[in-house]
Amino acid sequence: MHSISEENYIKAIYHLQDGKALVSTNEIAGRMNTKASSVTDMLKKLADKNLAEYVPYKGARLTDKGVQCANQIIRKHRLWEVFLVEKLDFSWDEVHEVAEQLEHVQSIKLTNELDRFLEYPKHDPHGDPIPDSNGHYEQHTQIALSQIELGQHGVLTGVVNTSKDFLQYLDKHDIKLGSQIQLLEREEFDGSCRIISDTDEIYISKLTAESLFVKI
């Protein structure tokens, strides 16, 4: 179908184009650790294949066909992440690199059977939604833990910070997707919070509270 390189560009543009009319060559180069000239070459190719609209000197954006393609890659990536964490005991911070490889395996049957085997998960281990076989997904109403009211509780559904250090910090405190979280107290002067995660009472910083998303 498409080369691994093409797929990686499609994915990068998809993640960058959120809202924006056009994504610039340099933005793509930055995200992919490549040079602008390489990006230009690929944008022409993606435009030829009707996967992206490309306006020289202005940037590019995925066509509907390109978005569809991106959704399938993301679907595979996130399903594999669920598999690695739930079945193979990987931790949050270890899955990405391997999922980057697995997402390029071409077999519609493989993807759909994996989906079934995992019992049609709606979100990956970071809380990001998993598109179904038609590319559709529900963006759940999540709110940052730093935004909810005192005493309120919710279920951890996602994180915005996916750095290794942060994910390991969460693991250490046994804060995981699906954890029941209640906000007990918030210090006004520094925004730090006292919360209950499942049964443990812990203190978290403002930055952490802003990085955790819950469904209320």
Residue number, 38 or 192, with CB nearest to DNA: 38
Which residues make up the interface to a copy of itself (CB under 8 A)? Answer: 84, 87-90, 94, 97-98, 101-102, 105-107, 109-110, 113-114, 116-117
**What's the CA gap between 85 and 214, in Å, rounded?**
20
Q: What are phi and psi of 123, to 5 degrees?
A: -140, 150
Token representation of residue 205: 């910083």
Q: 56: which residues sit within 8 A by CB, 6+ positions away?
A: none
Query: Got the DSSP string for 47-114?
Result: HHTTSEEEETTTEEEE-HHHHHHHHHHHHHHHHHHHHHHHTS---GGGHHHHHHHHTT---HHHHHHH
Residue number, 77 or 186, with CB nearest to a copy of itself: 77
Residue number, 42 or 79, with CB nearest to DNA: 42
From DNA, a copy of itself, none, interface partner of 5 (C-beta below 5 to 8 A by class): DNA
Give residue 107's identity as a one-letter amino acid code: S
**What's the CA gap between 32 and 11, in Å, rounded?**
10
CA geometry: angle 165, 126, 11, nearest 5 deg: 100
Using CB under 7 A, pick the residue from 18, 37, 116, 151 that binds DNA.
Answer: 37
Residue number, 16 or 79, with CB nearest to a copy of itself: 79
Nearest distance from residue 25's CB to DNA, in Å? 4
Nearest distance from residue 148's CB to a copy of itself, in Å? 36
Range in contact with DNA (rule: CB under 7 A) among 36-44, 77-85, 169-177, 191-199: 36-44
Residue 20 as a binder of DNA (CB under 7 A): the answer is no
Using CB under 7 A, pick the residue from 31, 36, 53, 216 that binds DNA.
Answer: 36
Residue number, 72 or 179, with CB nearest to DNA: 72
Number of CB atoms found within 10 A of residue 178's CB: 11
Contact between 36 and 25 under an 8 Å Cβ cutoff? The reply is: yes
From DNA, a copy of itself, none, interface partner of 53 (C-beta below 5 to 8 A by class): none
Site for DNA in 41-60 (CB under 7 A): 41-45, 54, 56-59
Nearest distance from residue 65's CB to DNA, in Å? 17
